[in-house]
A and B are shown apart, each in its own frame.
Chain A
Amino acid sequence: MINFLKSEQNSPILDDPGQVDALYKYWRFHIMFTMYIGYAMFYFTRKSFNYAMPAMIADLGLDKADIGMMGTLFYLTYGLSKFLSGIISDRSNPRYFMGLGLIMTGIINILFGFSSSVLMLTSLWVLNALFQGWGWPSCSKLLTTWYSRSERGFWWALWNTAHNIGGALIPLLVGFVTLHYSWRYGFIIPGILAVSVGLFLCWRLRDKPVTLGLPTVGHWRKDSLELTQENEGLGLSSSQILKKYVLNNKYIWLLACSYVLVYIVRTAVNDWGNLYLTEQHNYSLITANGALSLFEAGGFIGSLVAGWGSDKVFGGNRGPMNLIFSIGIFLAVAALWLMPMTGFVLQAACFFAIGFFVFGPQMLIGMAAAECSHKDSVGAATGFVGLFAYMGAALAGYPLALVMEQYHWNGFFTVISCAAAVVGLLLLPFLKAQSPTVQEKSLRSEMPVIAE
């Protein structure tokens, strides 16, 4: 591998506590800001296709089957790439890994804008998926090395909203550009943006704190849990770590399975939502997309609430919040299914609620995977569950379409409500995992109570 991609050597430790504090504070803020912009930009180059698609169909005469195939291939490659680059990224410098990945996706998007043949488009899009996978593991590595256990829920949630910001801005941008110029600019402009932001990432991101001569974040924040995780399994080789903490970790497998289901719901609502609204409730495409954009808005708020709640109310355990949110997913999906009337505000509110509840587990499961594995296999663990997530996303594509052909929208909703219910079931072992001491507090609990 190219040398600069490798993780940097540790610098000599600084011993002036004032300087350490100042550096930590400075970089924690700046890394978060840079990651946020970077990841939102990954969304720009990822989702550009979805929103330029109608214009491309008109212009190039593409088939629906071609597009479905491109989508499925994209999801599968993306999931695989997430896992593989997760393994690699544990040993590499996220600064260049993420930056380079973004630059590459930008370049591919620009090339995509100049291509016209189906074969070219498909292969470019698969290549794009490969580089898209370089973003998430780097971010999860940065999030686990710069922010400690007791505060991570909030920081991770904050970062997670980049999904929603990116996902909400790109339809506006691509829609505007496509409407006024052509769909080709809908790829070229996000591509150019991505290349420049990628350069920005290479300039502003940093590797782990120890490479800057800082103590680890567990030492700096005196977070005992973080320290336990840092000290776990020292002296194992990286393949042993991967085997023990990721591949043979049953809890990671459970998380992966529930992630499949969460992504089925997420992708199904996201990808089929506007079709449902237009077919079933006779919406125009624009109003349908408007209702769908509230899905992202709900996700933005939901992930913040879930992250904050799991930190403060449940002491950093992601299990209870996950359960509450998965009950919520079930209710929200059922509500959308059974809604007896048509009304923009009502349907939009339903999409908001689904987004609110889906993005809780969407974030918490990824975070739990990072926390249940070794410090040096964070990228691999999150990549592993990510791989499963995108298998779920792929399932929500063609296979779900088959279900719909057979059983119509009732089949569609039955599948996603069952998926939502099973998410809760699969996460139950996490509640038992800590075997808590049940304490009926004699006074009313000082913790806030928000039943579902």
Chain B
Amino acid sequence: MPNIWITSLCSWLLVSCSWFCLWMLSYSFIVEPELAILLFPFALRLGITLHSEKRYWPAVYGAELWLMVSLAILLEQPQWIAVIIASLSSIPLVWYAQKYYYGSQLRRLCVMGVVILTAALVNTFILEFWLDSAGMVFLVSVTGGLMLVPSCYLIWSYLFQNVWMPLTVNLVAKPVEMRSRHIIFYVLLFALNIIVQLGLPDELRRFAPFCLAIPIILLAFRYGWKGALLGTLLNSIALIVARNGVSHMEITDLLLSLSAQSLTGILLGMGIQRQRELNQKLRHELARNHNLSRELIKAEESVRRDIARELHDEIGQNITAIRTQASILKRIENTQVGERCASTIENLSLNIYDTTKGLLTRLRPKTLDDLGLKEAVQQLVRELECEAHGIKTTVIWNEPENMDAELSDATNVTLYRICQEALNNMVKYAQATEATITLTFQQQAYLSVKDNGIGFKQEDTLGGFGLRGMRERVQVLGGKFILTTQSESKSPGTELQVVLPRL
């Protein structure tokens, strides 16, 4: 396939150019040409090979070897054989690491970390024979790796893992997506950082490093570890710009601060991202839980309705039939015993009928199905004989003209039951003279039941099953349940407020 040759050639050119530029940059910081190779160029090669297929490795390693040999000849430093060995020794390492390099970002980052560390150790081991400063070799390798390998991952994941479609003239219709405010903000922050690093007087030297943390934290908070990495790269530029000498200690200081802040940034970002992911998962689970409970309530209501209908239709008719038969029996039977038996049958069946009717109302408010919520609530007021108990009751119904959707069965039943429970309590305990029931439907359904009775102690009511069950049900449906009571003040009373989402 000729394609791979052309691709290899192109990659070779691209890698060569970037490698050379990066070498030049690292050389200007470190001043030692050989160590400079270990800083950025090696890290670039490591990042690229880790993210590319093995068939492109010859191009990448070819570019590196070619440049190292030519630089060695150009600068007349033949001992670079050590660096060449170090370069070649990374082949089995990356080969082996690629086997484990898949899956989640966290896993990939861990593999990257291990690879960077191992490569640094190998470099130190090999170069120990030629150079004295083993610590420096290790530090340089780790610093470069921390800065460039994750960046390679970013470029790889954003640019090479997408399926790209050519842009076409349709673009005209698309708005430009550019968060210019964010970009300007971060650019300003970056510029400020450089100014702070450059311009602070010596007395404020302790303050300067802390300024580096601000963009890292901001970016990490917003965009996770990728943002933090970007922040650390920008910081590195600021640090490099502000460096103030080429002595050995100063270079060590620069490298140490570069790697420390890169590490901080990536770890912090990763931590935040992990927390956020867990949070997301939790939220997801909660939402699922809610949904399930809601479904449960719906299922329960529908089962209740079915049973109620069945009971009503079957048992009601059969009992009527039994009673008819019993009364016929009573008429044609002339023995005492027979007549008494027939009366007993009639009474017993009447009993069953009454019990079933009570059961039916508890199972499913039949009036709700027959009359609708509004009428059912009014019927409720009548049934409980509020007026007879001396309670003046008003029902206020606020419904917009254009209700776009019907209330769901679960909402209807819940509202009805809450009304029922609240009115029951009121009639039994409150000794009220006035009561208002308000139902308002907007984005959500609002119910308020208010009386001017004597109120109660919080722990009393919630002890029973009635209101507590209602409260749980409302919460499951994603609503709010607020019960306020005032027993001692001048205007005593109880108010129950319920907000239910319209499902």
Q: Mark A311-332, 1 if CB is under 8 A from B, else 0.
A: 0111111111001100010011
Known contacts A324-B155, A353-B17, A318 near B167 by CB under 8 Å: yes
Q: Are B155 and A372 in contact (CB under 8 A)?
A: no
B159 located at the interface, meaning its Cβ lies under 8 Å from any Cβ of chain A in the complex: yes
- A250 near B176 with CB under 8 A, answer yes
By the criterion of a CB under 8 Å from any partner CB, how many residues of chain A are at the interface? 76
Interface-located stretch among A80-88, A127-135, A171-179, A342-350 = A342-350
Judge if B18 is at the interface, Cβ distance under 8 Å: yes
B152's nearest neighbour on chain A, judged by CB, is: A451
Contact A309 B20 (CB under 8 A): no
| Secondary structure of the B contact surface, majority rule | helix
Complex contacts, A352 vs chain B, CB 8 Å = 17
Q: How far is the CB of B391 from chain A (nearest CB, A)?
A: 62
Name the interface residues of B8-26: CB closer than 8 Å to any CB of A: 10-11, 13-15, 17-18, 20-22, 24-25
B7 within 8 A of A: yes
Which residues from 288 to 318 on chain A have a C-beta closer than 8 Å to any C-beta of chain B?
298, 301, 305, 308-309, 312-318
Which residues in B have their C-beta under 8 angstroms from that of A318?
A: 167
From B15, B18, B162, B164, contact of A331 by CB (8 A) = B18
**CB of A275 closer than 8 Å to a CB of B:** no
Docked-complex contact A433 and B171, CB < 8 angstroms: yes
Residues of A near B56 (CB, < 8 A) are 448-450
Interface contact B178-A346, CB-CB below 8 Å: no
- Residues of A near B166 (CB, < 8 A) are 149-150, 225, 315-317, 371
Complexed CA–CA distance, A309 and B160 (Å):
12
A119 sits at the interface (CB 8 A): no
Contact partner of B17 (CB less than 8 A), chosen from A249, A323, A328, A447, is: A328
Nearest A residue to B246 via CB reads A340
Complex interface: chain B residues within 8 A of A440 (CB): 161
Chain B CB within 8 A of A434 CB: yes
Q: Shortest CB–CB separation between residue B13 and chain A, in angstroms?
A: 6
A338 in contact with B52 (CB, 8 Å): no
Instruction: Check A335 for interface membership: any CB of B closer than 8 A.
Output: yes
Q: How far is the CA of A4 from the CA of B160 in the complex (A)?
A: 48
Contact with B along A241-272 (1 / 0, CB 8 A): 00011001111001000000000000000000
Q: Is the CB of B160 within 8 A of A449?
A: yes
Across the two chains, which residue of chain A brings its CB closest to B10?
A: A305
Hey, which chain A residues are within 8 Å of B51, CB to CB? 449, 451
Assess whether A346 is in contact with B74, with CB atoms less than 8 Å apart.
yes
Of B25, B151, B164, B174, most buried by chain A (CB within 10 Å of CB) is B164
Q: Cβ of A448 and Cβ of B167 under 8 Å apart?
A: no
CB closest chain-B residue, reference A305: B10
- Residue in A233, A254, A432, A450 whose CB lies within 8 Å of B15: A450
Q: Which residues of B contact A412 (CB under 8 A)?
A: none
Least CB distance, A241 to chain B, in whole angstroms: 11
Tell me the minimal C-beta distance from B40 to chain A in angstroms.
9
B14 in complex: contacting residue of A315, A334, A375, A450, CB < 8 Å: A450
Please, which residues of chain A bring their CB within 8 A of the CB of B489?
none
- Partner of A228 from the list B28, B151, B152, B168 (CB cut-off 8 Å) is B168
A323-B14 CB under 8 A given contacts A308-B6, A449-B51? no
A320: chain B residues at CB < 8 Å are 159-160, 162, 164
Asked whether, in the complex, the Cβ of B74 is within 8 Å of the Cβ of A451, the reply is no
B27 interface residue (CB < 8 Å to A): yes
Cross-chain contact B28 with A439 (CB below 8 angstroms): no
Bound CA–CA A444/B55 (angstroms): 12
Question: Of A61-69, A161-169, A206-214, A423-431, which binds chain B?
Answer: A423-431
The verdict on B172 contacting chain A, using a C-beta distance below 8 Å, is yes
Q: How far is the CA of A300 from the CA of B374 in the complex (A)?
A: 81
B residues at A contact (CB < 8 Å) = 3-4, 6-7, 10-11, 13-15, 17-18, 20-22, 24-25, 27-28, 31, 44, 47-48, 51-53, 56, 74, 151-152, 155-156, 158-172, 174-178, 183
20 A-B contacts (beta carbon < 8 Å): A149-B166, A233-B169, A250-B175, A308-B10, A314-B164, A316-B166, A317-B166, A319-B164, A324-B155, A331-B21, A334-B21, A335-B25, A346-B74, A357-B17, A371-B167, A431-B159, A438-B162, A439-B163, A451-B51, A452-B152
The 6 lowest CB-CB distance pairs between A and B, nearest first, are A316-B166, A449-B52, A335-B24, A338-B28, A317-B164, A335-B21
Contacts A301-B13, A309-B10, A331-B25 given; 7 further ones with Cβ under 8 A?
A: A244-B172, A319-B167, A430-B167, A448-B7, A448-B11, A449-B48, A451-B47
